[in-house]
Amino acid sequence: MQRNSINKVILVGHTGNKPEGRYTPSGTSTASFSLATNESWIDSDKGKQERTEWHNIVAWGKLADFATEYIQKGQLVYVEGRLQTRSWKDKEGNSRKTTEIVCTGITPLEWKSAKTNASTEDKNVDAVSEPKEEDDLPF
């Protein structure tokens, strides 16, 4: 690797679909899903403009297992990873290319129920990580 080189992506967005879990022929688990990030701005005519960017996310190993089991469609998540571009030939022999984020970390920022696909406030990440009383401190 070249010195002073960094390939790091941080995204916060909503999942476009439930992660699709698969296994490689050697038995390694993998999962893929899409993630939408949005931006909005006011244009020169004072009109509100919006743009949604879709990202292809790929996870491997235990992270793939976590995503397949716990991440739901529409869920707000924080994703860390690196950009990777792959090339291949399709069935017709055409050259294809895709850029994806190879995930190194996923943090749910909200929880969704698998049955109802609705947010549940009692599983808020902040509530889990912060102690409620001084007696709950580990020291």
DSSP letter at 92 equals: T
Domains of the chain: 9-136 (2.40.50.140)
∠ CA(22), CA(56), CA(28), 5° rounding? 25
The least confident of 62-66, 79-83, 110-114, 133-137 is 133-137
Largest CA distance in the chain: 66
Average pLDDT over residues 20-40: 96
Tell me the C-alpha distance between 106 and 111, whole Å.
13
Long-range CB pairs of 93-97, under 8 A, 24+ apart, other chains included: none
pLDDT in tens, 31-69: 999 999 999 999 999 899 999 999 999 999 999 999 999
- The predicted pLDDT at position 17 comes to 95
* Of 13, 19, 39, nearest in space to 109 by CA: 13
Query: What predicted TM-score, i.e. pTM, was given to this entire model?
Result: 0.73
- The predicted pLDDT at position 130 comes to 35
- The predicted pLDDT at position 139 comes to 42
Dihedral of alpha carbons 99, 103, 107, 113, sign: positive
Q: Are 104 and 62 in contact (CB under 8 A)?
A: no
Average pLDDT over residues 99-113: 91
Q: Are 55 and 80 in contact (CB under 8 A)?
A: no
- Quick one: tokens of 9? 């992506």
- The predicted pLDDT at position 114 comes to 64
Would the pLDDT of 94 be above 50?
Answer: yes
Count CB-CB contacts under 10 A for residue 3: 4
